């Protein structure tokens, strides 16, 4: 079956007692066993029978199995947020004395996790420019645990060469971990480009309508014992497993993910093209525009679509605030890939607690507005933005 058919028709692990067509929400913490042997076997991992919902739950397992089939992965683990996916993965791969080679351009909390929290436990950040392969190679030493990248950085909209980074990582015998939140796995095959472990904030495109917070760790089986260790050690000890209710909602989102995404990506391209000619907009940064420096690479890596996030630059922070305050259709909120188009000023919000000097190093500008394009009629989005820019 093709990905989209699997998204709709993946079968339950066992037949439901009532023949339910939708996966029921197994809202339970624990499971009863018929006898002591079955109980011992389940707890020791000799059978797949669930024992406790911090570690396994039928509704969550169904969601995980569906993603696993769609991605042709070795193992998939659903967790409580995108940050849980990233932190559990990095904790699994590192130890005190190790380092992570990554970019200065990272999602705010990922930056603060790698350059702050993990540092306190003796894991060092090696911050580099992932678009500069020489610099990446030089940043790797014998203690490097992995390369961590985001496929499209936010809000800089930078795209690194995934296959080239994978080649460098594999030459050094370390995995390439990619945060692929920006383009859904229905659209591009990260593993074929050399990604070993994919992490996704399923809060974004996948949830559909921003119903819930969630994360996915997708393991392609190229990192010895990774999924095994995640399940037997990290899920149990850190306790970040997804809840059944969230898995239920995100499974519904997954069924319509690709259909929604294609409309949003198409809308984003139309918005970007329309905004290019607006006098007050100094720059439109969207990798789907042919004159974008990452256009060719993006086509090669991601295929025909370029995501639904773009940024525009205005004259000043004041102009950005005025613009945001005038919006009537577009909503003022931080999420990405909601069904609704959203606008935010990253420098004063997501990156508001960093110093101006840190923001400068991360190339987060005071003049940038981030737009996440939704499922409305593109003409209404364009009209609202143009009217709000023109004042
Ligand atoms: C939102 C986001 C995260 C964090 O995900 P949460 O679900 O909010 O924890 C990580 N990486 C990227 C690229 C994101 O956009």
Ligand 1 probe mutation, 81, 82, 249, most atoms within 8 A of CB: 82
Nearest atom in ligand 1 to 214's CA: 7
95-147 pLDDT tens trace: 999 999 999 999 989 999 999 999 999 999 999 999 999 999 999 999 999 99
Over residues 167-185, mean pLDDT: 98
Beta partners for residue 310, in sequence order = 371
Whole-number pLDDT of residue 149:
98
Find the mean pLDDT for residues 182-192: 97
Return the closest-CA partner of residue 340 out of 259, 233, 253, 267.
267
Residue to mutate (ligand 1; options 81, 83, 180, 200; most atoms within 8 A of CB): 83
pLDDT value of position 45: 86
Rounded to the nearest angstrom, the distance between the alpha carbon of 11 and the centre of ligand 1 is 29
User: Which is the closest atom of ligand 1 to the Cα of 181?
Assistant: 13
Mean per-residue pLDDT, 296-319:
97
Q: What is the pTM of this model?
A: 0.96
Compute CA 208 distance to the chain's CA centroid, rounded to the nearest angstrom: 14
Q: CATH fold of 3-251, please?
A: 3.40.640
* pLDDT, tens digit, 9 for 90 and up, residues 220-264: 999 999 999 999 999 999 999 999 999 999 999 999 999 999 999
Distance 201 CA to ligand 1 centre (A): 5
Residue 375 has pLDDT above 90, yes or no: yes
Mean pLDDT of the chain: 96
- Residue 209: band (very low, low, confident or very high) from pLDDT cuts 50, 70, 90: confident
pLDDT at 208 (0 to 100): 83
Atom from ligand 1 closest to the CA of residue 84: 9
Of 152, 204, 211, the residue with max ligand 1 atoms within 8 A of its CB, to mutate for a pocket test, comes to 204
HEC sequence for the chain: CCHHHHHHHCCCCCCCCCCCCCCCCCCCCECCCCCHHHHHHHHCCCCCCCCECCCCCHHHHHHHHHHHHHHCCCEEEEECCHHHHHHHHHHHHCCCCCEEEEECCCCHHHHHHHHHHHHHHCCEEEEECCCCHHHHHHHCCCCEEEEEEECCCCCCCCCCCHHHHHHHHHHCCCCEEEECCCCCCCCCCCHHHCCCEEEEECCCCCCCCCCCCCEEEEECCCCCCHHHHHHHHHHHHHCCECCHHHHHHHHHHHHHHHHHHHHHHHHHHHHHHHHCCCCCCCEEECCCCCCCCCHHHHHHHHCCCCCCEEEEECCCHHHHHHHHHHCCCCEECCCCCCCCCEEECHHHCCCCCCCHHHHHHCCCCCCEEEEECCCCCHHHHHHHHHHHHHC
Torsion sign across C-alpha atoms 15, 17, 20, 25? negative
Looking at per-residue confidence, does 361 or 151 come out higher? 151
Q: Which atom of ligand 1 is nearest to 86's Cα?
A: 10
The pLDDT value given to residue 248: 97
The residue extents of the domains of the chain are 3-251, 259-390
Q: Whose CA is nearest to atom 6 of ligand 1?
A: 82
Q: Residue-wise over 288-321: b if at least 16 C-beta within 10 A, else e?
A: bbeebebbebbeebbeebbbbbbbbbbeeeebbe
- pLDDT at residue 210 in the model: 87
- State residue 66 phi and psi, 5-degree precision: -65, -45
Please name the residue that has the structure tokens 């739950």.
57
The fold for domain 259-390 equals: 3.90.1150
Q: Which atom of ligand 1 is nearest to the CA of 83?
A: 9
Residue 153: is its pLDDT beyond 90? yes
Q: Which residues line ligand 1 (CB under 6 A)?
A: 81-83, 107, 110, 150, 154, 179, 181, 201, 203-204, 213, 215, 336
For residue 36, pLDDT beyond 90: yes
The protein residue whose alpha carbon is closest to atom 2 in ligand 1 is: 201
């Amino acid at each position: 079956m093709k990905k989209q058919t699997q998204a709709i028709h993946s079968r339950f692990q066992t037949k439901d007692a009532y023949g339910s067509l939708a996966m029921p929400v197994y809202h339970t913490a624990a499971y009863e066993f018929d006898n002591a042997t079955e109980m011992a076997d389940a707890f020791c991992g000799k059978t797949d029978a669930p024992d406790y919902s911090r570690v396994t739950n039928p509704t969550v397992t169904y969601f995980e199995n569906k993603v696993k089939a769609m991605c042709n992965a070795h193992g998939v683990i659903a967790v409580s947020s995108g940050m849980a996916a990233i932190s559990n993965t990095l904790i699994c791969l590192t130890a005190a004395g190790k380092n992570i080679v990554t970019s200065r351009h990272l999602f705010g909390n990922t930056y603060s996790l790698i350059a702050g929290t993990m540092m306190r436990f003796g894991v060092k950040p090696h911050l580099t420019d992932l678009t500069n392969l020489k610099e990446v190679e030089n940043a790797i030493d014998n203690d490097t645990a992995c390369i961590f990248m985001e496929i499209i950085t936010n809000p800089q909209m930078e795209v690194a060469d995934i296959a080239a980074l994978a080649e460098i990582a594999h030459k050094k015998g370390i995995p390439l971990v990619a945060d692929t939140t920006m383009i859904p796995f229905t659209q591009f095959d990260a593993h074929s480009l050399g990604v070993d472990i994919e992490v996704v904030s399923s809060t974004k495109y996948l949830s559909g309508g921003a119903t819930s917070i969630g994360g996915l760790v997708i393991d392609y089986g190229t990192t010895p014992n990774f999924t095994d260790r995640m399940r037997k050690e990290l899920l149990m000890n850190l306790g970040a497993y997804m809840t059944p209710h969230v898995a239920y909602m995100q499974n519904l989102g997954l069924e319509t993910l690709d259909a929604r995404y294609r409309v949003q990506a198409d809308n984003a391209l139309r918005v970007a093209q329309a905004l290019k000619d607006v006098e007050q907009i100094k720059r439109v940064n969207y990798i789907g525009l042919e004159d974008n420096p990452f256009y060719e690479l993006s086509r090669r890596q991601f295929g025909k679509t370029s995501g639904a996030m773009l940024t525009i630059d205005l004259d000043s922070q004041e102009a950005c605030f005025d613009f945001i305050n005038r919006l009537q259709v577009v909503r003022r909120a931080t999420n990405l890939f909601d069904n609704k188009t959203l606008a935010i000023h990253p420098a004063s919000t997501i990156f508001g607690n960093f110093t101006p000097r840190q923001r400068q190093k991360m190339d987060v500008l005071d003049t940038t507005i981030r737009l996440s394009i939704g499922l409305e009629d593109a003409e209404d989005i364009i009209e609202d933005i143009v009217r709000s820019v023109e004042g």
